[in-house]
Amino acid sequence: MKVLELFSGIGGMHFALKCSGVEGEIKASIDINPIANSVYKHNFPDVLLLNRNIQSLTPKFINSLDVDTILMSPPCQPFTRNGLQKDVLDDRTKSFLHILEILPELNVRNILVENVKGFEGSQMRELFVESLEKCGFVWQEFILSPNQIGVPNSRHRYYCVAKKGPEKFSFEVGALKTELPSWSQEICYPISDILNSSENLEPYYLEDKILRKYAKILDICHSNSKNSCCFTKAYGRYLEGTGSVFTEVSENVVKAIFEKLSVCKPDAPEYLELARKLKLRFFTPWEISRLMSFPESFSFPESLTDRQKYMLLGNSINVKVVAELIKILQ
């Protein structure tokens, strides 16, 4: 594969290509976010990385890169449940619409798109598959989550793979699928496998004001847990629905503490004393990157803050899931 990586972010698609074992080369990567680009360049210093607006790309320029495959994860905010759901009216869809507009002029044989669950019911999706059909592609859509293939994290996402005819897939295409033809359900490895004991964890423990307000509603993971909630870009700043937290305390002890908390008012001194015994902390950016299947070789530049790292990871992909999809494109 000769790949153009659009909306390249921190390099999730690039790592997925490497993880897939499929022979290929990233000919160019393009993203407008300078912080994401600094991470990409840190991990892939030799790749042609362009910091530019995708709407500025011309068919002539893309074809000059000699690519036959496009991997992309366009902005998901227009389609998220918590967003305004403006769909094609959201300015952030303009770059994706531009790619669809010039698609008939591109020498591209393979396409892989990732987006948030909910995209499958959008107007943007309708325009996308109409463009694929007009350009002679066959395609298959999926809703997949990494916990289907042994990764202890729920992150349901929309995916579409497309091949230019007369090429075909090795399976029959049709309605949206919730598993890959080659998959078999795997038992997830425990959370303990991604914990990083070498880090200074003190900054990640939940503050007292958070414990008072949110202790009872958090999704808590233990070392033996085999699932975690989807991590979003707001993780570390907001607590509800942004991802799980971790405790080294056993499940039985946590249960006993919560039984006491249930009959205790949050503003009572004993409430905070009990909540502190839960020893709840955020997962570190390093740990979340491993839950999202980034390899051991992946790292962030030292200049980035944890807040920036959480935001970038929340906007990224699960490498292992995308690697499996790339395999069926070859």
Domain ranges of the chain: 2-187+318-327, 200-283
Residue-wise pLDDT tens digits, 200-230: 999 999 999 999 999 989 999 999 999 999 9
**Residues with a known catalytic role:** 76
- Which residues does the chain have with pLDDT short of 70? 76-92
- Choosing among 3.90.120.10, 3.40.50.2300, 3.40.50.720, 3.90.180.10, the CATH entry for 200-283 is 3.90.120.10
Domain 2-187+318-327 has CATH 3.40.50.150: yes
Angstrom distance (rounded) from CA 43 to CA 301: 9
**pLDDT score at 285:** 97
pLDDT at 330: 85
Q: Quote the pLDDT of residue 225.
A: 98
* pLDDT value of position 328: 93
Q: Kindly report the pTM of this predicted structure.
A: 0.93
pLDDT digits (tens, 9 = 90+) for 5-22: 999 999 999 999 999 999
Q: What is the pLDDT of residue 184?
A: 73
pLDDT at 250: 96
